[in-house]
Structures are given as structure tokens and as C-alpha cells.
Amino acid sequence: MVRKVLFCATVDTHFSSFHLPYLQWFKQQGWEVHVAAAGNEILPYVDKKFNIPIGRSPFSRSNRGAYKELRSIIEENQYAIIHCHTPMGGVLSRLAARKSRRRGTKVIYTAHGFHFFKGAPLINWLIYYPIEKMLAHYTDYLITINIEDFTRAVKNRFKANMIEHVHGVGVNTDFYTPVKKIHKAKLREKYHYSDDAFLMFNAAEFNKNKNQKVLIKALALIKEQVPHARLLLAGEGPLFNECKHLSIELGVEKMVDFLGYRNDIQSLLNMSDIAVASSLREGLPVNVMEAMACSLPIIASDNRGHRELVVNDQNGWLFNNNPVEFSEKITLLYKDKHLRSHFGKQGRKIILEKYDLSKVMEEKKKIYLNVMDEVEEEQWVSH
């Protein structure tokens, strides 16, 4: 009988963005791959997909119905392995899998950055910490993607059978790779940017956490020092128009390009001079890893995910999320081309050493193979 694995997350774009190599790997092992998430995106390597109305908020009314659907799907398909992602995808699928787990189903949960962390709002600790600690009891493998989360789960005795640390989801360093000057010049010509423009790139959803406003405010402080500065903001989201209005209000609308949703991130990175990131919270940000793989220096806000990737004075700088400090860092890199080159080379070196997709695949495969062995052992004992 063909073994079945279920991947679950809040939205299906989570899988198209981050997990296709892992879906493909299961197919290559002869497994039947199912996905449960909100959305209608067609995913490769997937045998069956369920559009489940999972809401991002713990208080979303749709989650009750999503839980019932998940429980029914799990009971019907008798999965050998369930791998859940995202906070609410992880909550609902682990609750729905309790009965199946007692029969031998193995449950894996990847925490892409706990919502409770050093410096997090008290409300996050009051809501998310007890939920995650309780649900660890229904988790066979808890995977964390940064050291802070791993240490907290171990020290606070989360009762998952195993707690592991892997280096994120991995970056394809053959695709995200630096280009020669002539190629960079051609990209700028294609996208209508001059050679002397100082291009700063950021790719993120426009929401409160991603905090693009601090980037826009910093621009207003460097009009004179960096006359050719251009901030390229790729993404959509609830605060898109609000950020646009802020740029007009501060008189920097001609220095900011709101690019919307893009599927050409690699090209945009390769024509840029630096990458910037201003999130309040990150687990291990793929956008920063992709920029580092393209040998871009990084200026990023000081949070646990950025600290994992950015080493001050080695491949970039961390800043305390205020526009004054951010503007000062921009000006320094604008003036020092050799420092930009040094930071960029060091950043790619870091990615190649730890975060290359092939290396992360080996980390994940080791976990998956251990889980598969456990499934086989329990099947043999039960017979």
C-alpha cells in the first residue's frame, strides 16, 4: 500500500514559496503527497489538495470549520506522516491528528519563528506560548529554524518527542547567485534605472510586522547625502496604500518604487546595490538569505531571525529599527563601494556554508528518514 503524507499550512502559497523541493522528495520516495491549506493554487508534486478555510488569527470563526474538515480528512486518509507549518496550520492539524497519532501517525511541526520571543509583546506570550507548549505534547518532531527558538523549546521543556534545529528552508544558490557588472548594467537598462542610481531592495508583504514605514522615513533623512537613492519595495498587503501615502507626505515619492507582487526577485536583487529589511519579528527570513546569496550587503532590523544571518561588520549591519540609525547605515554603504563588495562576498559565503538548499535538504531528509523508520517499526510491531 502506498504511504501517504499530509502537509498542512494556513495558506497554500506557503508551499509554493518554500517547500516544493520537499514535496518533490516525498514523491521521489514513492509516497502519495496531500496538501491542506486555504487557497486554490495548483501545486506540483501534489496528488490531492484540500482547500481548507484556515484563518491566520486564533480567533477566526472559520477555524472551527477548518478543524472539522481536517479531522475528517485525516481520519479518511490514514496518513503515515503529517507535517504542519505556520501557527494556525500547526494548531489545527495537530489537534485534528490526535486520534490518528494514537494509531501510529507521526506528526512533525516546523515553527517558522515562535510568536513569543525576547522583546515580544506580552499579549503574544499570553496567547501563543501556552498554546505551543500544550501542543508540543501532540508533536513527534518539533523543528525550529533559529537558535533562540530551539534553545527556548529545550530549556522550557516542550514535550515533543524530539526537538530539532535546521537552517530554514534553504536557498538555491545556483539560481540566487551574483552576476558580473555587465549583466548588472543590462538589468538596470531593462528596468530603466541609471548606472549611478543607488538601489536598495526589500521584498515583503506590506503589514505592520514588516514595518516598511521605517525604510521610507529614513529616505527623507538622506535626500542630500544620497541624491540617487531609490528604494525598491516588492510586495502587496494591507498597508500598501498607507506606505504610498507616507512617501508622498514625506516628499520622497520619487525615491520609492512600489513594485507590487513580483516573480522576478532574482533579477531585482542582481541589479541592486544593497538589501534592506525592517521587520519587527522574523524566524529566519528567506528574503534576506536570497539577497545574501546574490552577494548583497544587508542592513536589517535587530531581531532574532536577522541576528541569525547578519553579523555586524562582517556581511552587513543590524539597526535598532529607527530611521535615523538606518539612514546613517545607508549613507556609509553608499560612500564605500569596497565595503559593499566585502560585505556581499561574506554574505554569500555564510549562505553557502549553512543555508544552501542542498545542505538544508540533507538536514530535513535525515529527520524524514528517521520518522519513516519509526513508522515502519510501529507497523511491524503492530502486526
pLDDT of 137 above 50: yes
- Whether 344 and 361 map to the same domain: the answer is no
Residue 52 sits in the same domain as residue 161 = yes
Residues with Cβ < 8 Å from 148, sequence gap 6 or more? 117, 118, 304
Domain contains 243 = yes
Strands in 12-96 per DSSP E:
32-38, 48-51, 81-85
Whether the pLDDT of residue 381 is over 90: the answer is: no
pLDDT at 40 over 90: yes
Residues 17 and 161 in one domain: yes
Strand partners, 51: 37
Cell digits of residue 190:
531593462
Are residue 297 and residue 367 in the same domain, yes or no? Answer: no
Position 119 scores a pLDDT of: 86
Residue 383 pLDDT level (bands cut at 50, 70, 90): very low
Number of domains forming the structure of the chain:
2
pLDDT value, residue 379 = 60
| CA separation for the pair 22, 368 (Å, rounded) | 10
Segment 5-18 shows an average pLDDT of 96
In a domain? residue 138: yes
Q: Indicate if the pLDDT at residue 1 is higher than 80.
A: no
Taking residues 314-339, report their average pLDDT: 96
Q: Are residues 222 and 86 in the same domain?
A: no
CATH number of residue 29's parent domain: 3.40.50.2000
Tell which residue, 361, 376, 276, has the closest CA to residue 318.
276
* Same domain (yes/no): 155, 219: no
pLDDT above 60: residue 380 = no
User: Do 241 and 347 sit in the same domain of this protein?
Assistant: yes
- 150-196 pLDDT, tens per residue? 999 999 999 999 999 999 999 999 999 999 999 999 999 999 999 99
Residue 249 lies in a domain: yes
Task: Give the pLDDT band of residue 254 (cuts 50, 70, 90).
Answer: very high
Residues 95 and 203 placed together within one structural domain of the fold: no
For residues 247 and 326, membership in a common domain is answered with yes
Q: 51-110 pLDDT, tens per residue?
A: 999 998 888 899 999 999 999 999 999 999 999 999 999 999 999 999 999 999 999 999
Mean predicted lDDT score pLDDT of the chain = 95
Q: Is the pLDDT of residue 382 over 70?
A: no
pLDDT at 118 over 90: no
Q: State whether 112 and 239 are in the same domain.
A: no
pLDDT for 38 beyond 60: yes
Query: Under a CB-based contact definition with an 8 Å cutoff, are residues 116 and 129 in contact?
Result: yes
Q: Same domain, yes or no, for 211 and 142?
A: no
Q: 230 — phi, psi (to 5°)?
A: -135, 125
Domain residue limits at 34: 4-169+357-382
Edge-to-edge strand ranges of the sheet holding 198-203: 256-260, 229-234, 198-203, 274-277, 298-301, 316-319
Q: Are residues 346 and 364 located together in one domain of the fold? A: no
Lowest mean pLDDT across 52-61, 105-114, 325-334, 360-369: 52-61
The answer to whether residue 176 sits within a structural domain is no
Tens digits of per-residue pLDDT, 218-246?
999 998 899 899 999 999 999 999 999 99
Residue-wise DSSP of 96-137: HTHHHHHTT-EEEEEESS-S--TT--HHHHHHHHHHHHHHGG
In 142-211, alpha helices (H) = 147-155, 181-190
Within a domain: 245: yes
Q: Answer whether residue 175 is part of any domain.
A: no
The H-or-E segment that residue 273 falls in is none
- 174 lies in a domain? no
